[in-house]
Amino acid sequence: MMRDAKLWTWHVAAGIVILVFLGLHMAIMHLDEILGIFNPAGGHPIDWENVVARGRTVFFPVTYILLLGAALFHGLYGLRNILLELNPPAWLKGAIGVVLLLVGLGLFALGAWAAVASHTLATSL
Amino acid sequence: MLESKGRPNRLGLWGWLGGGRWGLERYLYTLHRLTGLGLLAYFLLHIVVTSSRAISPERWKAAMDSVTGPLFTVGEFLVFVAFAFHAANGIRLVLVELGWAVGKPIEPVYPYRTSVNFQRPLAVGAMILAVIVMMLGGLDFFVLD
């Protein structure tokens, strides 16, 4: 399979992962008054007590990291496709790929650290 | 992304922004890209802002206070709307991409049938789903909250 066809297949697969876990995230955060799930302390989903309660579990940090990786790949690969369709010169194509890869890796490192560190913090409280 | 095989996108941005006289799905394609770019911009900032939960409760509260207010509520709702559209249209795209919503190949016998007969109801269904999710979000954001 060509490299780009493989990347496109991963792009679609990442979309399915995002659909499941971002769907859950949106339901918890923005349909809280209707569904009221995973907010054991009541109040608002972003209240510190609810953040700690979710952070204590293994499920949320693990799925945050999974969602983080899938969403960064899906989004940045989609942006790369849009930019490459504008027919930039060859050197710029390479630069776009490198910059997006570095941005993706940097934000993945930050987000994964936050998921693990907040789990550690939550379990220590 | 596949190579353009010697037929470059000479229209540039207009090549995907302008729907021209194409059908509904062509406008969904443009909206899918626009909502995708919006969601990506929000997501990159969201990673940075929400990382404060790993430091202390005070830093988390300060971060959340900095993104609170009527303007941010409307902005968050727009992100929710973009998510609802992108997700519902994404389901449609995956079903078409995998060939499950295209219909089986048939003999070209009059009256002719096209794959649009399968895809158009799917597109309409996906948009109805998106609107239902948007309305639930609107209820939660502005009425119940």
- Any B CB within 8 A of A117 CB: yes
B114: closest CA of chain A, how far (Å): 25
In a domain? residue B2: no
Measure A58 CA to nearest chain B CA, in Å. 15
Q: What percent of chain A has pLDDT over 90?
A: 93
Q: What is the CATH number of the domain that holds B92?
A: 1.20.1300.10
Kindly report, residue by residue over B2-31, the tens digit of the pLDDT.
555 566 677 777 777 776 778 889 999 999
Determine the number of helices (DSSP H) and then strands (DSSP E) in chain B.
5, 0
CATH topology of domain A3-124: 3 helical TM bundles of succinate and fumarate reductases (1.20.1300)
Say if B4 falls within a structural domain.
Answer: no
- Are B145 and A33 within 8 A, CB to CB? yes
Q: Do B1 and A84 touch (CB under 8 A)?
A: yes
Annotated domain spans of chain A: 3-124
Using CB atoms within 10 A of its CB, is residue B93 exposed (0-12), middle (13-18) or buried (19+)?
buried
Check CB contact of B6 with chain A, cutoff 8 Å.
no
Q: How many domains does the structure of chain B reveal?
A: 1
A65 touches chain B (CB under 8 A): no
Does B84 reside within a domain? Answer: yes
Residue pLDDT, tens place only, B130-143: 999 999 999 999 99
Q: Do B87 and A34 touch (CB under 8 A)?
A: no
For residue B136, the chain A residues in CB contact (below 8 A) are 31, 34
Domain-embedded: residue B7: no
Model confidence pLDDT, tens digit, residues B64-112: 999 999 999 999 999 999 999 999 999 999 999 998 988 888 888 998 8
- d(CA B124, CA B92) in angstroms, rounded, equals 10
Q: CB contact, 8 Å: A5 with chain B? A: yes
Q: For residue A14, what are the contacts with CB-CB under 8 A and spacing of at least 6? A: A70, A71, A73, A74, A77
Give me the pLDDT at residue B7, please: 64
* Nearest-angstrom CA–CA distance, B76 and A75: 18
**The pLDDT of residue B113:** 82
The answer to whether B102 faces chain A, any CB pair under 8 Å, is no
Chain B hits for A61, Cβ within 8 Å: none
Residue B3 is assigned to a structural domain of this protein: no
Domain of B32 in residue numbering reads as: 22-144
Average pLDDT over residues A87-105: 96
Predicted TM-score of the model (pTM) = 0.91
Instruction: Give whole-number Cα distances, B63 to A122, B128, B131, in Å.
Output: 18, 36, 31
Q: Which residue in B9, B47, B87 is closest to A110 by CB distance?
A: B47
In a domain, B16, yes or no: no
Compute the average pLDDT of residues A26-48.
95
CB contact under 8 A, A15 and B36: no
d(CA A70, CA A85): 22
Identify whether the C-beta of residue A114 lies closer than 8 Å to the C-beta of residue B53: yes
Judged by a CB distance cut-off of 8 A, whether residue A80 touches chain B is yes
Interface predicted TM-score (ipTM): 0.94
Is the CB of B108 inside 8 Å of chain A's CB atoms? no
Nearest to A51 among B53, B80, B87 (CB): B53
Q: How far apart are CA A12 and CA B75, in angstroms?
A: 27
